[in-house]
Structure 1
Amino acid sequence: MAVAPLPRPHGGVRGADLSRSSVLFGGPFGRIFRALPPADYGADEAANLAALKKLAAAMLAAPDPIRNGPDAEESGIPAAFTYFGQFVDHDLTFDPASSLQKQNDPDALVDYRTPRFDLDNVYGRGPDDQPYLYSDGLHFNLGRALTGAAHNPHAHDLPRSSPAPTAAGAHPARRAIIGDPRNDENVIVSQLQGLFLRFHNHLADKHGDFAAAQRAVRWHYQWVVLNDFLPTIVADTVLQEVLPHVAAGSDLVTDPPKLRFYKPRNEAFMPLEFSAAAYRFGHSMVRPEYQLNPTLKHPHVIFAGDSTHPNLKGFRQLPADWAIDWRFFIDLEQLDWGTEDPEVHDPRNNNRVQLAYKIDTSLVNPLGHLPSTIGADPDALALRNLERGWRMRLPSGQAVARAMGEVPLLDLAINIGKFTGSDPLTPITEIDPVFADNCPLWTYVLAEAVKKPVPIMTSQGTKTCEARLLGPVGGRIVAETMVGLMLADSSSYVAQHPRWTPDAELMENGRFGLRELIKAALAT
C-alpha cells in the first residue's frame, strides 16, 4: 500500500515563484524600510544566485575538535535559548488557514497568519474547534512516557497518530497531534512543545478554567520574551534604547518602550527585514550535536547519523529513553561538577550546560545538507536564507544601517567564518567583489554581533565565555518587532496590564525567565 510522504514544512525557498519586480507585500507582511532599494548581486538571476552560492559555501564551517571544557565556538548562552527562539518563530508565523483560502488569496491580503505572541502554535484553534488536543476541555493530552532523565521524571512524547501502513522494514510515521506540526521537526523543539503543554496543565490545575489558564500561560511566555529572551540575545546598549525598563529594573509604565522604526499604520505586520533576515540569527547558534540525557552515552547529531550517533530529526515517535534532561540545556541547578562520567564520550557535554554557538557568520556543516523532510531546492540552510532575502527584495545591510542613522560596517570588517579569535576569517569582498558596500542583510546582522563576556560554570570552576549578541541593526530590528507586536496585540499583558508580574510562586529571587518556566513545567 502506498503511503503519503511526510510533509516538508519548509519546502522550497519562499518567494521563489514571485516576480522580483513586484512591490506587493500586503496583508500580514510588510517592510520597515519601504523606500530602500533591493540589493542585487549580478545582472540577472543566474549571476545573483552564483554570487550567493559562493557566500553560502564560505559560511559553512566544521566544528572545533572536541575538548574538555568550553570550546571557542561556544557563546555562554544556554542551548535552550536556540530552540526557544525557534519555538517563538513558529508562534509568530503560525498559519491556520485552509488551502482553499490560500488559493483564493495568494498574496495574503487577508491576515490568515497571526503575528502575535499568543501561542496558537500550542493552543491551535482551542478545545471547542480542536477537542482532540485536549483530554477534558481544560488540560492538554500528552503522549507516551519517556525515560532516561531522572530529573525529568514526568517526561512525555507528544501525542501522536496511530502508525500508518508502511513498506516492509520502513519506520512507521507517527505524526504529532499538536497545534503546529513544525514544532515536531526536531527532538529538542518537540520536547520544548511538550513542556508548554505541561506548563499549561500546571496553570490549569491552579485556575480550573481554560480561558484563565490560557491567558496566564500566554502572559508568562510574553514576559519571558521581553525580560529574558531579548536581554539574552540583544546587546545591552541596543536593548536599553528599546526597552529601558529592563536596565532600570522598573516596569513598562514607568519606562515605556521606545520604537523608532517599527510603526505599523493600521494593523501589526511581520516585517520582511525581521522574518527573512534578522531573526534568522539563530541558525548560527545551532550546535552540530547535543547530549540529551546522562543515560544516553553518546551525543546526538542534528541530522545525519548512524547507529552509534543517532540524529535528532523529528516527525516520528521518540525512542522511549530519549527524555531530555533539561539541566543539559539551561542552568536549572548546579550540576555535580566533580563527578564526570567517563562513559559520556563528549567532554563538551559532560555534566554541564551545553552552550549555543556564537552568533557569527558561520553555520555548522550539518546545516549544509538539510534532510528532505526539512527543506530542499536548495538544501543548504545558508543558501536558503540568502536566496530568500534576495527574492524578497531586501535591501543591503549597509543601506539599512544608514537608514537607522548608524555608521555601516566597513567591508573589511564584514568577515566570514567562525569568530573564535584563532580561525581564519575572510572579508566578504574577497568572496566576491559584488558584495562591496552591498552585504546581504542576514549576513550583515551576523557580522555586526557585539562581544559580551559571560561567566559559566565548568568542572574546572567558573570560566568566561565570549558571547556575541545582536548589534545596532539586527538587535534593533528584532527588539522593535517583538515589542511592537506585543504593543499592537490588545490581548497581551503589555496592552492589558503593563504592571503585571508573573505568579510569585513561580519566581525565584524575584525573577521569572525561561529557566523558571521550564522548572514549573518539569514539576507537572
Structure 2
Amino acid sequence: MTPYTRAFALPPFADNTAEVVAALLELGRPNGPLDARDDLSQSPEVLADQPGTGVQDAVSAFFGQFVSHDLSLDPRSRLGRPADPRVVTNQRTPGLDLDSVYSDGPPGLHFDPADPAKLLVGDGGRYEDVPRAPDGTTMSVDLRNDDTVILSGLHAAVLRFHNHVVDRLRSAGVESFDEYRREVVWHYQWIVQHEYLPALIQPGTWAWLTRQPADALPIEFQIALRIGHAQLRPAYRVHDDLACYLFHPDGSDLRGGRRDPQRFVDWRHLLTARGQKLDRSICTPLFQLPREALPSGDAPVSLPQRDLLRHLTWQVPSGQAIAETLGVPVLAPADLAELQPYGLDRSTPLWYYLLAEAEVVTAGATLGPLGSRLLADALLAQVTAPDDWRPTLPGHETGSFTLTDLFDLAGVLDRAGSSLGG
C-alpha cells in the first residue's frame, strides 16, 4: 500500500466554496442535467432487452469497475473535504496485480479446504458465487466486488480461473503458488492491454504513451477510471429467466450481498449485449444507490454527485488545464454551454469533461483524446508482464487471450457445451 500522488502540478478546477459545492450537487442530482431519465415505470425485462447505445459490450463497464477496484481503495477521505493525496493511503497496491483477489498473499485468502492451492468459490445457486459467511456477507478480499451480482460473478469467475490454472500448471509439474498467481495476473493484464483498453480509446493513442511504471496511483487517473459509470445500463438480463434493474429502491435489483439460487450470471447474455455510449447521460438507477453500495455509508446517494465531489476532495485540475498541458485539443466553451450558468464551462471537473469530450469528439463511441491518454497511461503504467510475453493458455484465436477465453477456461461461459479447458 502506498499514498496517492499527482500527475499534474496544476491548480484545482475551482475553489472549494459553498457555491461550487451547490453547483456540483445540482449537476449530479436525480432528474438533473446528467440524469438519463430512464423510464423506470417500464419493467426491467423491457429495459434490459432494449439494445444498448454503446460500442463496447455490456461486460466492459463491470470489468472496468473490477480493474478500478484492483488499483484503488480509499475508505478514509471524505467527499468534498480537501485531502492531500500524498498522505492518504491507497489500500490497494497501484499495480494490476489482482490484490483485490489475492490480498497480500496466502494469509489473507480463503482456500478450498480440499486443496490448499485453490481459492474457495461460493455456491448456493445454480452457478458459482463469491465465498460468503453464514449471514451472506462476502468473504472476498475487496467487499466492493460484491456490489452487484455481475461484479460478484466476475470475481467468482476469476477465482475459478485461478483454480483452472492450478490444475493446468500442476500437470506440468509446477507446485508454486507464486507461479500460479503470476500466470493468472499476466493473462489478466493481457486482457486489459489488448482487449479492454483498445475498445475504449481512440486509435493512435498508443503512439503518445511512454508506459512509465508508477509507484503510486495519481489522483487524476483515479478520476479517469470512473468513466465506466456512463456505460452502465438501467437494467440487465443476466440469464434467460432473470432481468433486473441495476438498482431499485425496493431491492428487487442486481445489488450484491446475498446468495440466492436465481442470482447468477450467464455471461453469454452480457457478452452479446451492448452497454451505453460514453456521454453526459448517466442511467437513472445510479442517482439512488443503495446504502450497501456506498463504501463509507455516507451521503449523497447519487453516484454522479459523489464522482463530482471527489474532485474537491483531491483538488483535481480542470479537464481544460490538463488537455493544454498534454497538448491535446481543448473543448470550446460552446461544447460545455450547459455549464455556463454554474461558471464551469471554461474550467470543468475532469470526469464531466472526459464524458463531454467523448460525446463531442467520437459521438460516445470511445473516449476522446484526453480521456484516451489518461486511461491508457493509468493502466499501461501498471502492466508488469514483460514486453515480449505472450499468452500461454489456449484462446479462441492463436496468440491472443480475451475475457471470453478466461470465462471459458473458468468453466462459466458455456454450461452445456465444450470449452477450451477440455
Looking at structure 2, the residues matched to 225 and 236 of structure 1 have their Cα atoms a distance apart, in angstroms, of 16
Return closer, same or farther for 1:295/1:121 CA change in 2, 3 Å cut-off: same
1:437 aligns with 2:346: yes
Looking at structure 2, the residues matched to 391 and 96 of structure 1 have their Cα atoms a distance apart, in angstroms, of 13
Equivalences for 1:313-328 in 2 at 5 Å? 313-317=255-259, 319-328=260-269
Q: Which amino acid aligns with 1:442?
A: W
What TM-score, normalized to structure 2? 0.84
Q: Which amino acid aligns with 1:329?
A: L
Q: CA deviation at 1:32?
A: 1.0
Quote the residue 1:47 is aligned against: 19
Quote the residue 1:59 is aligned against: 34
1:273 aligns with 2:251: no
1:233 aligns with 2:195: no
Q: CA deviation at 1:389?
A: 0.6
The aligned length equals 389
Q: CA deviation at 1:440?
A: 1.0
**Which protein shows a greater Rg?**
1
Q: CA deviation at 1:324?
A: 1.1
Return closer, same or farther for 1:95/1:381 CA change in 2, 3 Å cut-off: closer
Quote the residue 1:198 is aligned against: 160
Q: CA deviation at 1:90?
A: 0.8
Return closer, same or farther for 1:162/1:220 CA change in 2, 3 Å cut-off: same
Quote the residue 1:82 is aligned against: 61
Looking at structure 1, the residues matched to 57 and 239 of structure 2 have their Cα atoms a distance apart, in angstroms, of 15
Q: Which amino acid aligns with 1:394?
A: V
Structure 1 residue runs without a partner (length 5+) = 1-25, 98-104, 148-154, 164-173, 243-257, 331-352, 415-426, 454-465, 487-491
- Alignment counterpart, residue 300 of structure 1, candidates 244, 249, 259: 244
Worse overlay, 373-382 or 508-517: 508-517
- Alignment counterpart, residue 326 of structure 2, candidates 404, 412, 430: 404
Residue aligned with 2:18, SS:
helix
Return closer, same or farther for 1:211/1:382 CA change in 2, 3 Å cut-off: same
What TM-score, normalized to structure 1? 0.69
Q: CA deviation at 1:378?
A: 1.0
Quote the residue 2:280 is aligned against: 361
Quote the residue 2:299 is aligned against: 377
Worse overlay, 219-228 or 106-115: 106-115
Return closer, same or farther for 1:125/1:95 CA change in 2, 3 Å cut-off: farther
CA deviation vs aligned residue, 1:357-408 (integer Å, no higher than 9, x gap): 0111111111111111122411111111111112211111111111111231
1:213 aligns with 2:135: no
Quote the residue 1:133 is aligned against: 111
Quote the residue 1:481 is aligned against: 378
Structure 2 residue runs without a partner (length 5+) = 77-83, 412-418
CA deviation vs aligned residue, 1:200-226 (integer Å, no higher than 9, x gap): 011100112322211100000011111
Quote the residue 2:150 is aligned against: 188
Return closer, same or farther for 1:239/1:95 CA change in 2, 3 Å cut-off: same
Q: Which amino acid aligns with 2:352?
A: T
Query: Does structure 1 retain, via aligned residues, the 8 Å contact 2:230–2:279?
Result: yes
Quote the residue 1:247 is aligned against: none
Residue aligned with 1:300, SS:
strand
Looking at structure 2, the residues matched to 407 and 96 of structure 1 have their Cα atoms a distance apart, in angstroms, of 35
Return closer, same or farther for 1:400/1:467 CA change in 2, 3 Å cut-off: closer
Q: Which amino acid aligns with 2:328?
A: E
Q: CA deviation at 1:481?
A: 1.6
CA deviation vs aligned residue, 1:175-215 (integer Å, no higher than 9, x gap): 11122111111110000000000100111001123222111
Quote the residue 1:346 is aligned against: none
1:162 aligns with 2:84: no
Q: Which amino acid aligns with 1:468?
A: A
Return closer, same or farther for 1:356/1:520 CA change in 2, 3 Å cut-off: same
CA deviation vs aligned residue, 1:239-271 (integer Å, no higher than 9, x gap): 4433xxxxxxxxxxxxxxx25xxx67xx61111
Looking at structure 2, the residues matched to 110 and 387 of structure 1 have their Cα atoms a distance apart, in angstroms, of 19
Query: Does structure 1 retain, via aligned residues, the 8 Å contact 2:70–2:99?
Result: yes
